[in-house]
Amino acid sequence: AQSVTQLDSQVPVFEEAPVELRCNYSSSVSVYLFWYVQYPNQGLQLLLKYLSGSTLVKGINGFEAEFNKSQTSFHLRKPSVHISDTAEYFCAVSLFSGGYQKVTFGTGTKLQVIP
Amino acid sequence: NAGVTQTPKFQVLKTGQSMTLQCAQDMNHNSMYWYRQDPGMGLRLIYYSASEGTTDKGEVPNGYNVSRLNKREFSLRLESAAPSQTSVYFCASSRGGAENNYGYTFGSGTRLTVV
């Protein structure tokens, strides 16, 4: 079975400061990794994904994430946040099982950007 | 492009009433999913349809039924609503298959309150 842990439920950060949102996963097989963003009263949008290849993945809106197999982590980073980045961020792992892509989501991290 | 369309956006039900949440996608995706989102619990899979003509239970199927009407549409039915089903419901779709992992496309959600 796969699982995802997002230890920080809320992360406050000042505007233009860097931020890191942490994600750790567990799985007995290789998985695909994703970050989704959810703005208030909206659905989730794909931010970035890691399937294979380079462990540093760049996504939309200046975000990037690094896959670390030895630490089973996939932390999300941005060097300088903006007010518009205020949202909830979900880490997810996916593997192909039982004929479909089984996706497990973390519980989410609310990023609050302070002016 | 419409992507994934969910209706209704908001609904208030009395305990014991029934209703159907509608979902349609126009991306020719094979797989479709229904999730519920509750504070602090992330997204939990209710039912999924790996391909047209198939449906399977997810993590929290009790009290729900689904119908994959055709490749485009996947509906979720609450036969006898309970206050515990107050939640935000999201429909999602994906290309499906082992080699196609482009992530999910989500609808904008249905906010359901059961009183």
Residues of A in contact with B96 (CB under 8 A): 100-101
Residues of A in contact with B68 (CB under 8 A): none
pLDDT, residue B42, reads 87
Percent of chain B clearing pLDDT 70 (strictly above): 96
pLDDT, residue B97, reads 66
Asked if B7 reaches chain A (Cβ–Cβ under 8 Å), the answer is: no
Number of neighbouring beta carbons within 10 Å of residue B11:
17
Which residues lie across from B10 on neighbouring strands? B111
pLDDT for A14-69, tens place per residue?
999 999 999 999 987 778 899 999 998 889 999 999 988 888 999 999 999 999 98
pLDDT, residue B1, reads 62
Percent of chain B clearing pLDDT 90 (strictly above): 78
Strand B110-114 relative to strand B10-13, pairing: parallel
Q: How confident is the model at residue B95 (pLDDT cuts 50, 70, 90)?
A: confident
Task: Say which DSSP state A15 is in.
Answer: T
Contact B94 A105 (CB under 8 A): no
CB–CB of A2/A19 below 8 Å? no
pLDDT, residue A96, reads 77
Alpha-carbon distance values, A68 to A48, A81, A108, B37, B38 (Å): 15, 23, 20, 28, 29
pLDDT for B2-28, tens place per residue?
799 999 999 999 999 999 999 999 999
Closest CB to A43: pick one of B42, B51, B108. Answer: B108
Lowest-pLDDT range of A15-19, A86-90, A100-104: A100-104
Give the mean pLDDT of B31-60.
Answer: 92
pLDDT, residue A103, reads 87
Contacts of A98 (CB under 8 A, 6+ apart): B50, B56
Residues of B in contact with A60 (CB under 8 A): none
Q: How far is A110 from chain B (nearest CA, A)?
A: 10
Contact A42 B48 (CB under 8 A): no
